[in-house]
Amino acid sequence: MKPVLPLLMQLRPSYYHFNWQQSKEQVQIGMMAQETYKLFPELVSYNESNDVYKMNYAGFSTVAIKAIQEQQLVIETLQKQIDELNNLLKKLLEKK
């Protein structure tokens, strides 16, 4: 699977109403399907007959897991650098 974190950072979680709903009281939380399609077309379907986009939110769990894995690699790399710098600092302070 390709890296997903840069793509996820482009998504804009939003509050919205379905266009076909009469009542504006049913506020939804999610991503705009049209925007998401540009980044993750495999998670969006479009029904031409009624001009409705549909999001596969269950599929986002796999994308989220991939993003967590990518972040964990960054965290581990940074932790290794911190440990190396701390060891270097300790050695330098011991020489004084």
The two structure tokens encoding residue 33: 């399907």
Check pLDDT > 70 for residue 58: yes
Q: What is the pLDDT of residue 17?
A: 79
The two structure tokens encoding residue 61: 């769990």
Q: What is the pLDDT of residue 93?
A: 94
The two structure tokens encoding residue 24: 């504006």
Check pLDDT > 70 for residue 81: yes
Domain boundaries, the chain: 5-95
Q: How confident is the model at residue 61 (pLDDT cuts 50, 70, 90)?
A: very high
Report the alpha-carbon distance of residue 54 to residue 37 in Å, rounded.
10
Check pLDDT > 90 for residue 22: no
Mean pLDDT of 72-79: 99
Report the alpha-carbon distance of residue 51 to residue 31 in Å, rounded.
17
